[in-house]
Amino acid sequence: MRFPTPLVPARLTRRYKRFLADAVLEDGRDVTAHCANPGSMLGLAEPGTRIWLEPNDDPRKKLKFGWRLVDHENGHFTGVDTSLPNRVLRAALETGEIPQLSAYPTVRPEQKYSTASRVDFLLQGPGLPDAYVEVKSVTLSRRSGLAEFPDSVTARGARHLANLSEMAALGHRAVLLYLVQRSDCTAVSLAADIDPAYAQAAQRAVSAGVEVLCYQTSISPEEVRIRGAIPYR
């Protein structure tokens, strides 16, 4: 997925109130950007960090910039927009780029299921069990090459695991897909020290038949693309 508007570099001043970030553009202007990430962004929001912002001229938007990337200044990037993985994955599902799910011709986003919940994608095809797919954006890395989820306690994430387990018990395919929004990671693990309850819920879900897929991405200030499957540890 290409960014529709060219990104501009900046230096982060601070991230606050979860969804706001102050930054300084290269021309010296101070701006405030929307941060589409409710997580802790552990290791990604230090003052002085080089970041990339997407400008907009939409009169309906109060903030004229959106924070999209962290630039690690070593050739690698992290995507911080948690809405982006669903858009990237939808395109990949529709073009058959996820081999484990490529047999499904119908991709339905945001479908109601379980109790008062919505699944990110419902996949359907003739003669195939329905596949319920939840997507999680992974941005935390505390060890070289290893991405971890979650970066903060997520009761919502544990609930999604329980919902998927219900679908598996009903005979459907239930898939949890970790999309790693970092170009420097080649494996995924759970951050059990950050959220033990989520790690336990994940173990129960796998025992109940929930499939776990992990995919890495190629990231630049021009685009984000799915690269391929990586191991789940």
Q: What is the pLDDT of residues 13-28, one digit of tens each?
A: 999 999 999 999 999 9
The answer to whether 72 touches 78, Cβ cutoff 8 Å, is yes
Token pair in block for residue 55 = 């400008």
Question: Tokens 């999209």 identify what position?
Answer: 68
Average model confidence (pLDDT) for the chain?
A: 96
* Residue 55: Cβ-neighbour burial (10 angstroms; 0-12, 13-18, 19+): middle
Q: What is the pLDDT of residues 50-74, one digit of tens each?
A: 999 999 988 888 999 999 999 999 9
Domain 8-79 fold: OB fold (Dihydrolipoamide Acetyltransferase, E2P) (2.40.50)
Flag the least confident range among 55-59, 92-96, 97-101, 162-166: 55-59
Q: Is the pTM of this model over 0.85?
A: yes
The order of strands in the sheet holding 140-143 is: 140-143, 146-149, 187-190
Question: Which residues, including other chains, have CB under 8 Å from residue 158's CB and lie 6 or more apart?
Answer: 195, 197, 198, 201
* Residue 17: Cβ-neighbour burial (10 angstroms; 0-12, 13-18, 19+): exposed
Q: What is the pLDDT of residues 107-142, one digit of tens each?
A: 999 999 987 789 999 999 999 999 999 999 999 999
Q: CA nearest 149: which of 160, 161, 137?
A: 137
In our burial notation (b when 16+ CB lie closer than 10 A, e otherwise), range 59-98 reads eeeebebbbbbbbbeeeebbbbbbebbbebbbebbeeebb
Q: Per DSSP, what are the bridge partners of residue 68?
A: none
Question: Which residues, including other chains, have CB under 8 Å from residue 175's CB and lie 6 or more apart?
Answer: 100, 101, 131, 132, 133, 134, 164, 210, 211, 212, 213
In our burial notation (b when 16+ CB lie closer than 10 A, e otherwise), range 192-221 reads eebbeebbebbeebbebebbebbbbbebbe
State what percent of residues in the chain have pLDDT above 70.
100
Domain boundaries defined on the chain: 8-79, 84-229
Token pair in block for residue 166 = 């219900």
β 50-55/65-71 pair status: antiparallel
Q: Does domain 84-229 fall into CATH 3.30.70.980?
A: no
Q: What is residue 213's predicted lDDT score, i.e. its pLDDT? A: 98
